[in-house]
Amino acid sequence: MKNEKVSIIVPVYNAEQYLGYTITSILKQTYKNIEIILVNDGSKDDSLIICQNYAAIDDRVKVLDVPNGGVSNARNCGIESATGEYIQFVDSDDVITENMTERLVDTMHIYEADMVVCGMRYMVLEGNRPVSSNDWLPQYLGKECVLSREKFLGDFSRILLYTVLLEGPCNKLYKREYFDKYGLCFPLDKELGEDFLLNLQYFSRLKRIVFISDVLYYYLQWGKNSLTTCYRSKMFDNQVSLLQEYEKFLRVQCVWKDENITFFYQYAVGHVVRCMNMLFDSRNDGEDGQIKAELFRILDNDSVITWIENAEWIPEGYEWLKDCVKNVDVGFAFDRLMDMSRQKSVPDVVVQETRQVYYPGKANQKMGQILRRVNSVLDNERIAKTIESLEQDGIKTTISKVGISCRYRMSKAIFGEDENK
């Protein structure tokens, strides 16, 4: 087996509380020929010190300290600094299984692929306990699916809608030559979805892609009040822009036809519904007038009207949208969505055929299964070894920030165990 180097890029911003979990899970990789590029994005806490201390005890760790420019800029800096044949991305508050890199590289070699995509587990941790999880898997594709460019693009919209595996960068292995040859980078002018736009650039050039059902990446949301679950200013505009780029991608690739169109409209309407629901989230403090004004912008948008009118399927509970956009009936939409939020019965947007939730937010796995699988990601024994090595090197700051507190928080938050057991 070839032993090409893999550059694992981690953008870091004010991540001292969780950074130790992430780095430790990467250092545990069974595939040893890696470089870990930690890009400190102008953190104001002790994240930089923690990064530097890890670099002091493992020469595979490289630290870049850049002025705050956002996650896209940090990732781009990591790409420019990468020396590996392959590139992998990990967020600074997530963890990966110890065999993730090896599994991805092996699959890339076997099928001479240009990208490998694996399954993910989304977990919400609240009050130091897992409260929900959802597996994102290529279920309808099969266990290990190898697709040519033609088959992949011809079924692109269905894969995107049914798997939730194409948008982000963290469950994939990329070839660095694509970034160098085509000048690929994360766009700097997007607050959300910049990773999907980068992937669209990459997808347009690959010749073969492989999907594997292994859950190798754990996307951890530390608290339900995360910004990713709340409505942010310009969120709707950002979503419309991304969906327009997605439609443009299908047209440029000459696959704007048949089921690609059908599933595109279904995907687009689902995101519109999500934007509307977030306006009524209890964590948003907008007044009724402000909410109605934003609802008007959504319902009166030309693209939204086109998507809803052409959608063959509307999410269950929102069938009234087709009539609503005809007359831009903001009052009716406001009353319906308000009633749903008060009753706490806002339906999840699901795929019609499989009923699989295609965006984060609903637990569908037993808690015992969650704990067993997460237990394979980080174990207390390994964390203890990391602490010991840090102590031997006299790195007190990292011990306090990453070591002792890491052992306590991880055992309590993930395993639900007492740290003294």
Output the pLDDT for position 344.
63
- Do 155 and 248 belong to one domain? no
The total of structural domains in the chain comes to 2
Output the pLDDT for position 285.
74
- Do 203 and 246 belong to one domain? no
Residue matched to tokens 């292994």: 214
Q: What is the dihedral of CA 44, 45, 47, 50, to 10 degrees?
A: 140
Output the pLDDT for position 56.
97
Please report which confidence band the pLDDT of residue 129 belongs to, taking 50, 70 and 90 as the band edges.
confident
- Do 217 and 239 belong to one domain? no
Please report which confidence band the pLDDT of residue 68 belongs to, taking 50, 70 and 90 as the band edges.
very high
Output the pLDDT for position 131.
81
Please report which confidence band the pLDDT of residue 162 belongs to, taking 50, 70 and 90 as the band edges.
very high
| Average pLDDT over every residue of 293-298 | 94
- Is the pLDDT at 384 greater than 70, yes or no? no
- Do 191 and 235 belong to one domain? no
Q: How far apart are CA 246 and CA 188, in angstroms?
A: 18
Q: Which of 27-41, 334-348, 357-371: highest mean pLDDT?
A: 27-41
Positive or negative torsion for Cα 12, 391, 6, 28: negative
Contacts of 376 (CB under 8 A, 6+ apart): 97, 98
- Is the pLDDT at 245 greater than 80, yes or no? yes
| Average pLDDT over every residue of 41-50 | 96
Tell me, yes or no, whether 364 lies in a domain: no
| pTM for the model | 0.81
- Is the pLDDT at 357 greater than 50, yes or no? no
CA distances from 46 to 20, 50, 53, 74, 93 (A): 12, 6, 11, 17, 15
Mean pLDDT, the chain, integer: 83
| Average pLDDT over every residue of 151-162 | 96
Tell me, yes or no, whether 210 lies in a domain: yes
> Given 277, 307, 342, which residue is the final one in a domain?
342
- Do 317 and 198 belong to one domain? no
- Do 173 and 57 belong to one domain? yes
Contacts of 301 (CB under 8 A, 6+ apart): 240
Please report which confidence band the pLDDT of residue 127 belongs to, taking 50, 70 and 90 as the band edges.
low
Q: What is the dihedral of CA 388, 390, 391, 396, to 10 degrees?
A: -140
Please report which confidence band the pLDDT of residue 126 belongs to, taking 50, 70 and 90 as the band edges.
confident
More confident residue, 315 or 216: 216
Output the pLDDT for position 231.
54
Tell me, yes or no, whether 201 lies in a domain: yes
The amino acid that residue 299 corresponds to is L
Tell me, yes or no, whether 217 lies in a domain: yes
- Is the pLDDT at 295 greater than 70, yes or no? yes
**What percentage of the chain has pLDDT greater than the value 90?**
66
> Given 318, 342, 366, which residue is the final one in a domain?
342
Output the pLDDT for position 191.
78
Tell me, yes or no, whether 400 lies in a domain: no
Please report which confidence band the pLDDT of residue 309 belongs to, taking 50, 70 and 90 as the band edges.
very high
- Is the pLDDT at 114 greater than 70, yes or no? yes
- Do 283 and 189 belong to one domain? no
Q: How far apart are CA 312 and CA 318, in angstroms?
A: 13
| Average pLDDT over every residue of 146-162 | 97
- Domain span at residue 303 reads 231-342
The amino acid that residue 272 corresponds to is V
Cα distance between the two ends of the chain: 40
- Do 156 and 253 belong to one domain? no
- Is the pLDDT at 83 greater than 70, yes or no? yes
- Do 30 and 113 belong to one domain? yes
- Do 328 and 246 belong to one domain? yes
Tell me, yes or no, whether 357 lies in a domain: no
| Average pLDDT over every residue of 158-171 | 94
DSSP letter at 348 equals P
More confident residue, 137 or 197: 197
The amino acid that residue 100 corresponds to is M
Tell me, yes or no, whether 55 lies in a domain: yes
> Given 342, 359, 388, which residue is the final one in a domain?
342
- Do 175 and 237 belong to one domain? no
Positive or negative torsion for Cα 84, 90, 96, 100: negative
- Is the pLDDT at 64 greater than 60, yes or no? yes
Q: What is the pLDDT of residues 8-40, one digit of tens each?
A: 999 999 999 889 999 999 999 999 999 999 999
Looking at residue 67, which CATH number applies to its domain?
3.90.550.10
Tell me, yes or no, whether 399 lies in a domain: no
- Do 102 and 18 belong to one domain? yes
